[in-house]
Structure 1
Amino acid sequence: MGQLIAGPFAAKTLADFGADVIKIEPPGAGDPLRKWRLLKDGTSVWWQVQSRNKRSVALDLKSSDAQEIVRKLAGEADVLIENFRPGALEGWQLGPDVLLELNPRLVMLRISGYGQTGPYRDRPGFGVVAEAMGGLRHLTAEPERVPVRVGISLGDTLAGLHGVIGILIALQERQHSGRGQVIDVALYEAVFNCMESLLPEYGAFGAVRGPAGSALPGIAPSNAYLCNDGAYALIAGNGDSIFRRLMAVIERPDLAADPQLADNAGRVARVGELDAAIGTWTSKRSVEEVLKALDEASVPAGKIYTVADIADDPHYQARGMVQSLLMDDGSQLAVPGIVPKLSRTPGEHRRQAPGIGQDTDAVLAEVGLTPQQISELKRRGVVAGGNP
């Protein structure tokens, strides 16, 4: 229950590995994601990724009859995922007090901008705001420049992944207690949870980390270096032995042997000097020449991939990360593969993303509604879709 990104991403992840996911969406337009970004035959190609392996039931949740259908579904479900504003479910008499009474084994994942409690709980929350509040946006800039956003909805995706973790933990615990529980994921907290040493550095030293462009503050050398073909090589030479190999490749044995540069602390103190030396070397070579030399020396390095690079990369292809989906019109659509890779029970792309309410009739029949009852609910606009 919910729309767009965070909750549906969590459900997509579970669906990839065999969960029977029933997506509830409003009759008519359905989930707004169906019309986001680039469309093919009137539907977003993103939808084919976000809603693969799911079934769709179209319900008007403002209707008491639709709310009763949700209660029937929740009464038999293992997990309910929702990402409405806090209080929305309670307003429909679908809150945890009701649903856990009906099904004490139910695990409820609730994703929202600021969580179910606290002074900000009722504020509308989107991923970009969460990225800023979580501390990420402050760091994504060149010094003295306007902070930029990551070009994807990272806050939503991080929240979805944290939600999946919570679901798996709760299901594992349920094996012992026999009871479900509520998982409260806030978008900003999911971002904040990934901010590494940001808070302890402030707590211990009063240090407010600022933006550092392409560098990684406090770890050296690790940066993006311009090559003579205009591309950038990302080089991570921050391990002690890796650093010495890197210096050998760029023909700076003096730096490799310098005792002040033997550990990270010493290298951080002279990071400008190191970046200049590496940059001088890369500036005389193409990015492919740079990467070949560093790969031969076992120095971690890479180039900045565009999606065209991703689609053509043999490693992506060998690991099944670029898959081809046969569309209804006979065309092929490139879609991402499934992560993570499980040895015995790998995920699979079992079915295309559904049309709005495509599975309404089948799902409602599974919870005991007769064809006559379903027809009457359709006539009244409570449900939509399904069989003609």
Structure 2
Amino acid sequence: MTVHDSPGPIAPYASAARPLDGVRVIDLTTRLGAYTGRLFADLGADVVRVEPPGGLPERAVPPLTEDGTSLTFAFTEAGKRSVVLDLADPGRANQLERLLAGAQVLLTSEGPAGLRGRGLHPDDVTRRHPGLIHVSVSPFGLTGPWADRPASDLTLLAAGGLLALAGDPDLPPVRAWGEQSSLIAGVHAATAALIALLALEDGGHGQIVDVSAQEAVAHSLENAVQYVDLEGIVRTRAGAGPAEAGTGLFACADGWIYLVGGLGGLPLAWDALTEWLQAGGLKEAARLREPRWQQRAWRRSASGVRTFRTLFERFAAPRTKRELYEGGQRRGISIAPVATPEDLLTSPQLTERAFFRQVAVGDATLPFPGSPYRFGGLDVAPGDAPAPGAHTRAVLDALPGTTTPTPARPKE
């Protein structure tokens, strides 16, 4: 992997081993921005994760492997190189500046006051390094009255509006598992950073990329905006139950399937769905041909939802997810199995495409999700998760002007 001594032209795509080969990224993020660096590492960038002595506190976040390695941290750090620097030490801080001088991208994830206190505010960094792209991922962005407010995943989901859509309508909102706001912000930041890299390659000038996690969450509100635009309805929490007969989660022999058979003003799959149930021996399915099932108001009634569920789950009870999926797909019915982690690991489709990759995590080797995209002739996949400081000497010794003392020759 190429290490640039100073910011300059990025290696042409055609000659790169991977799309971002030759790009160096300095990662100073917390959990909020760590996924951005992981996405860059997958694409071949040399992502240097700078950690304090003893390693980042995120390394201790459960769930843990048997040797105490955080699985969530390993996921966001796969493919990066770890360098331990005590930035409170002026000498080490100078080494960070030298790292920045040879990089194309800097990733941070604090508010403006926190960054300024460390001499890392984007205005200051890009003044010292005009060829650097500073991607600042922060809870609320670099400006505005909330710029320096602390935030957690819960408060960011709430501030961005996504929490209002999660859970049952008669109960408080439910936060999704994991750091979902971090993943959402990370994807947005990586997309913006790639655009900035194109500008750097074209004009040789860096820039500040200001990413607000709140705004990234607000940009990811499922179809809530379309509901307002097309139907004049403000979406609220719908809960786990279906809002309309023919649509929702249904139990089967080995788990659950999700069916979309009755959604919309005209249920296009209704006839095919009815024929499928009847052909499977469910004579009572003939009731679904009654004219009232073409009326959206009936399909949305509690009686309509309950009646359909009783019929369909009677049909689905002896059948597996795979049988239902394949049978529905053959008839043009929108249906999908609710896959468990075990289902994914044994999926013939994902296996054929080598989606899961073996990644070294502490003392273990575990299957990790790979990248959901492919480049012809290039291998795009996560690398191993580094131990704290595993690459400190290799990275620092490669800095311009660094000389490694020659060992004294033994006396003869």
**Cα distance, 1:158 vs. partner?**
0.6
Deviates more, 1:289-298 or 1:200-209: 200-209
Establish whether residue 339 from structure 1 lines up as the match of residue 376 from structure 2: no
Tell me how far 1:16 sits from its aligned partner. 0.8
Aligned positions of 1:317-356 closer than 5 A:
317-325=351-359, 329=363, 331-349=364-382, 351-356=383-388
State which of 245, 250, 253 in structure 2 corresponds to 1:225: 250
1:42 aligned residue (62, 68, 74)? 68
Q: Which segments of 5 or more consecutive residues in structure 1 lack a partner in the other structure?
A: 373-388
Inter-partner Cα distance in structure 2 for 1:216 and 1:176? 51
Q: Does 1:282 align with 2:312?
A: yes
Q: Find the partner of 2:194 among 168, 172, 175.
A: 168
Distance in structure 2 (CA, Å) of the matches to 1:233 and 1:3:
39
8 Å CA contact retained: 2:298, 2:304: no
Of 302, 309, 313 in structure 1, the residue corresponding to residue 343 of structure 2 is: 309
Aligned to 2:258: 234
Higher RCO (C-alpha under 8 Å, 6+ residues apart): 1
Q: For 1:309, give the aligned amino acid.
A: D
Give 1:193 shift.
0.2
- Of 236, 248, 252 in structure 1, the residue corresponding to residue 275 of structure 2 is 248
180-189 vs 84-93, greater mean Cα deviation: 84-93
Conserved 8 A contact 2:135-2:189: yes
Distance 1:155 1:244, change over 3 A: farther
Cα distance in 1, alignment partners of residues 29 and 202 from structure 2: 32
Equivalent in the alignment of 1:158: 184
Moved more, 270-279 or 201-210: 201-210
Alignment RMSD (CA, Å)? 3.0
Identity over aligned pairs, percent: 27
Any conservation in 1 of the 2:245–2:309 contact (CA below 8 Å)?
no
CA distance, structure 1, for counterparts of residue 64 and residue 371 of structure 2:
22
The unaligned stretches of length 5 or more in structure 2 are: 1-26, 279-284, 406-412
Aligned residue for 1:270? 299
Secondary structure (helix, strand or coil) at the match of 2:268 reads helix
Residue 196 of structure 1 deviates from its aligned partner by 4.5
* Worse-superposed segment, 28-37 or 10-19: 28-37
Written as runs of structure 1 = structure 2, the 5 A alignment for 1:115-264 is: 115-199=141-225, 207-214=233-240, 221-227=246-252, 229=253, 231-237=255-261, 238=263, 240-251=267-278, 258=291, 261=294
Instruction: Tell me if structure 2 keeps the 8 A contact 1:4–1:31.
Output: no
Q: Secondary structure at the match of 1:184?
A: strand
When residues 34 and 320 of structure 1 are mapped into structure 2, their CA distance, relative to the original with a 3 A threshold, is farther
Q: Which deviates further from its counterpart, 192-201 or 20-29?
A: 192-201
Task: State whether residues 181 and 217 of structure 2, in contact with CA within 8 Å, keep that contact through their aligned partners in structure 1.
Answer: yes
Closer/same/farther in 2, CA of residues 328 and 66 from structure 1, 3 Å limit: closer
**Which letter does structure 1 place at the counterpart of 2:396?**
L
Confirm whether residue 297 of structure 1 aligns to residue 297 of structure 2: no
**TM value normalised by structure 2:** 0.78
Mark the CA change 1:276 to 1:70 in structure 2 (over 3 Å): closer, same or farther: same
What is the DSSP-based 3-state SS (H/G/I as helix, E as strand, rest coil) of the residue aligned with 1:40? Answer: coil
Secondary structure at the aligned position of 2:148 is classed as coil
Counterpart residue type for residue 398 of structure 2: E
- Conserved 8 A contact 1:221-1:271: no
Quick one: distance in 2 between partners of 1:327 and 1:60?
25
Query: Do the aligned residues in 1 keep the contact of 2:259 with 2:336 (CA within 8 Å)?
Result: yes
Q: Distance in 1 between matches of 2:174 and 2:71?
A: 26
Kept in 1: contact 2:165–2:237 (CA 8 A): yes
- For the pair 1:91 / 2:117, whether they are aligned, the reply is yes
Instruction: Give deviations 1:108-137, integer Å, cap 9, x for gaps.
Output: 111111111111111112222211221111
- 8 Å Cα contact 1:126/1:156 also seen in 2: no
Distance 1:128 1:327, change over 3 A: closer
The alpha-carbon distance between structure 1 residues 215 and 86, as it changes in their structure 2 partners (threshold 3 A), is farther
Q: Displacement of 1:312 after TM fit?
A: 2.5
Go from structure 1 to structure 2 and tell me whether the alpha carbon gap of 1:220 and 1:126 turns closer, same or farther (over 3 Å shift): farther
Partners of 2:101 and 2:259 in 1: CA distance: 53
Q: Distance in 2 between matches of 1:189 and 1:328?
A: 35
Question: Which deviates further from its counterpart, 203-212 or 188-197?
Answer: 203-212
CA contact (8 A) 1:67 1:92 kept: no
CA gap of 1:76–1:149, structure 2 versus 1, over 3 A, is same
Distance 1:258 1:370, change over 3 A: farther
For 2:230 and 2:199, locate their aligned partners in 1 and report how far apart those are by CA, in whole Å.
36
Tell me the secondary structure at the aligned position of residue 151 of structure 2: coil
Provide the rounded CA distance (Å) in 1 between the counterparts of 2:39 and 2:49.
Answer: 13
Letter in 1 for 2:380: G
Change (3 A) 1:6 1:220: farther
Would you say how many aligned residue pairs link Structure 1 and Structure 2?
Answer: 364
* Contact residue 325 and residue 334 of structure 1 kept, 8 A: yes
